[in-house]
Amino acid sequence: MKKIPSSEITPEHIYRSRRSFLKSLGFIGAGAAVLAACQGQLPEDTSSAAPAGGSTQADQLTSYEDVVSYNNYYEFTTNKTGVARLAENFQTDPWKVEVGGLVNNPGTYDLDRIRSEFQPEERIYRMRCVEGWSMVIPWLGFPISKLLEQVEPTSDAKYVRFETLYDPEQMPGVSNSYFPWPYVEGLRLDEAMNDLAILSTGLYGKELLPQSGAPIRLVVPWKYGFKSIKSIVRIDLVSEMPVSLWMAAGPSEYGFYANVNPKVDHPRWSQATERRIGESGRIPTEMFNGYEEEVAALYEGMDLAVNF
């Protein structure tokens, strides 16, 4: 596996100053329409600013330390601050992702192939966990549409099904038989084709650490965090809606769509507000996590309280 040269690793304080530079120009928190309109004119080193969505909040990046020490990765443990240590020696090299199902060009993608063919770039996204906490993370990733275009879904393909490695030797948490392992997630094909949906191989300019889903994970910023499945080993194009681990574990609480929606509460708690990790107090949660402009059309005519 190729190592990212240290010259390409951007220290956190540079991220922060770049972020405040963008903010001073009005690129952050100014609304999605403004951003979209300006994107083509951004200078090279700032073009990575994510669509900010309709937020009126000043988005501060979550510190690298917080991003890599507060995690949900149940294959290791359900204790968020315990994942990093238990996953420390997780083997992610070599790694292969099998891409198949209803496609014309199935393939095996190792990490070198993924990096050379898809060239991960920075995307700063808000991430919101269904539990009510959130982070702002500078991911390195590429639109999953690039991979899908290469494997060519057939006309029968309607959904994309993702699967995490299942390895009891390395993953102590899979002994918890409450959950139907392996971890599975799914997207409708048109959701997966949206430019915001990325496969990520890094964050803060560095390769992903195991606790963040190394070596490759999904990131879908307008959906609750659990859709962003980690350490992917299989991607299949399928005709039927996949049953995700969370749908199987708690069908009345976790639906297939899992779009961030402050108006549709979880049966056991409100989804109206969230706590940014590293900040105090709570802030309002935004429709589609602030990416309404970019994704609302995917759900036109759907009752989002039914399709939760």
Binding residues (CB under 5 A) for Mo ion: these are 72, 129-130, 225-226
230 touches which of Mo ion, ligand MTE, none (CB within 5 to 8 A by kind)? ligand MTE
Tokens encoding 182? 């392996």
- Cα(114)–Cα(92) distance, rounded to whole angstroms? 14
- Cα(254)–Cα(79) distance, rounded to whole angstroms? 20
- Convert residues 81-120 into a mask of x (bound to ligand MTE by CB under 6 A) and - (unbound): ----------------------------------------
In the complex, minimum distance from the CB of residue 30 to ligand MTE, in angstroms, rounded to a whole number? 26
- Of 59, 75, 207, 236, which lies in the binding site for ligand MTE, with binding defined by CB under 6 A? 75
Q: Name the residue number minimizing CB distance to ligand MTE.
A: 225
In the complex, minimum distance from the CB of residue 113 to ligand MTE, in angstroms, rounded to a whole number? 22
In the complex, minimum distance from the CB of residue 180 to Mo ion, in angstroms, rounded to a whole number? 17
- Of 48, 55, 71, 261, which lies in the binding site for ligand MTE, with binding defined by CB under 6 A? 71
The answer to whether residues 218 and 144 touch, using CB atoms and an 8 Å cutoff, is yes
Residues binding ligand MTE: number (CB under 6 A): 15
- Of 19, 126, 230, 276, which lies in the binding site for ligand MTE, with binding defined by CB under 6 A? 230
74 touches which of ligand MTE, Mo ion, none (CB within 5 to 8 A by kind)? ligand MTE
If binding is defined by CB under 6 A, does position 77 make contact with ligand MTE? no
User: Which are the contacts of 279, defined by CB distance < 8 A and separation ≥ 6?
Assistant: 60
SS (H, E, C) the chain: CCCCCHHHCCCHHHHHHHHHHHHHHCCCCCCHHHHHHHHHHCCHHHCCCCCCCCCCCCCCCCCHHHHHHCCCECCCECCCCCHHHHCCCCCCCCCEEEEEECECCCEEEEHHHHHHHHCCEEEEEEEECCCCEEEEEEEEEEEHHHHHHHHCECCCCCEEEEEECCCCCCCHHHHCCCCCCCCEEEEEHHHHHCCCCEEEEEECCEECCHHHCCCCEEECCCEEHHHCCCCEEEEEEECCCCCCHHHHHCCCCCCCCCECCCCCCECCECCCEEEECCCCCCEECCHHHHCHHHHHHHHCCCCCCCCC
222 touches which of ligand MTE, Mo ion, none (CB within 5 to 8 A by kind)? none
- Convert residues 132-171 into a mask of x (bound to ligand MTE by CB under 6 A) and - (unbound): --------------------------------x-------
In the complex, minimum distance from the CB of residue 260 to ligand MTE, in angstroms, rounded to a whole number? 11
Which C-beta is closer to ligand MTE: that of 142 or that of 224? Answer: 224
- Convert residues 197-226 into a mask of x (bound to ligand MTE by CB under 6 A) and - (unbound): ---------------x------------xx
Residue showing tokens 């359900």: 78
With contacts defined by CB under 6 A, name the span among 3-11, 147-155, 229-237, 292-300 that binds ligand MTE.
229-237
Of residues 249-268, which lie at the interface with ligand MTE (CB under 6 A)?
none
- Cα(176)–Cα(164) distance, rounded to whole angstroms? 16
In the complex, minimum distance from the CB of residue 164 to ligand MTE, in angstroms, rounded to a whole number? 4
Which C-beta is closer to Mo ion: that of 82 or that of 107? Answer: 82
List of residues contacting ligand MTE (CB under 6 A): 71-75, 129, 164, 183, 212, 225-226, 228-231
